[in-house]
Amino acid sequence: MNDKVPTYRRHPNGQAFIYHASIPTADHRLYLGKHGSDESKQRYAEAVTRILTGDFATSTASPQSILELIAQYLTWAERYYATNGKPGREFYSMKYSLDPLASIYGSTMANDFGPRKLSAIQVHLVSRDLCRTTINGRIGRIKRFFRWCCKNELVDAELYAKLQAVEGLKIGQFDVREAERVQPVTWDTVKQLIPFLSPTLEAMVTAQFWCGLRPGEVTIMRRCDIDRSESVAPWHRNSAL
């Protein structure tokens, strides 16, 4: 019997958790739900009882809810999808994608999740009037989350394979809307910006617009990349181009 009582803690992602060596998870943490909630405090009391009676130590498996696994995953993803030590865009995309999974099926045991429940989330996203590509991206990220769970042996090995049966939405399916194409800005719009730019940035923006360059292409442009075989009229920001 281990008489050390773990502390009720708050993770930066807002979840309550405890840490104890007897908890049979990869990081020996048990996530309890939203920090400060009555549910998390009840689960904390139950977990302490299990620790004091040695229940965790004698257990070879610890079924976990989807909410618990999401908390563990986000702890990992915050470091994995980081840029210069800070969470990057993909980390926040994963959080947004996992929100409906947590809100609809958070209390569900992870091994009880399956294709029908994933399809229900897909229909839920359609009802929110999201575009087709956004829905497919979020469903794909939910699958990626379960792939991570399988890789870390937190759920049944075949669960991720089962979820592959849920296909992405096709054009016109469920009358889901398509994303509007982003149109290029007009030269009149660009000219309003130019007076606020330094000469170097002015030249870069002008070259990017008229040559159809990507931002990365214009930033790596060198003198030798420019055809200077013919003379051209000098450019000025007040030009009527």
pLDDT at residue 107 tops 60: yes
Q: Give residue 61's pLDDT.
A: 47
Distance, CA of 127 to CA of 230 (rounded, Å): 58
Q: Give residue 3's pLDDT.
A: 57
pLDDT at residue 221 tops 50: yes
**What digits encode the pLDDT tens for the residues 160-182?**
999 999 999 999 998 999 988 87
Q: Give residue 203's pLDDT.
A: 87
Average pLDDT for 188-192: 89
Task: Identify the CA nearest to 193 among candidates 183, 202, 182, 184.
Answer: 202
Q: Quick one: pLDDT band at residue 60, thresholds 50, 70, 90?
A: very low
| Residues 34 and 14 sit within 8 Å (Cβ to Cβ) | yes
Q: What are the residues whose beta carbons fall under 8 Å from the beta carbon of 75, sequence distance 6 or more?
A: 11, 13, 27
Q: Give residue 53's pLDDT.
A: 81
Hey, what CATH class is 63-183 in? mainly alpha
Q: What is the pTM of this model?
A: 0.61
**Helix or strand run (H / E) with residue 142:** helix 132-151
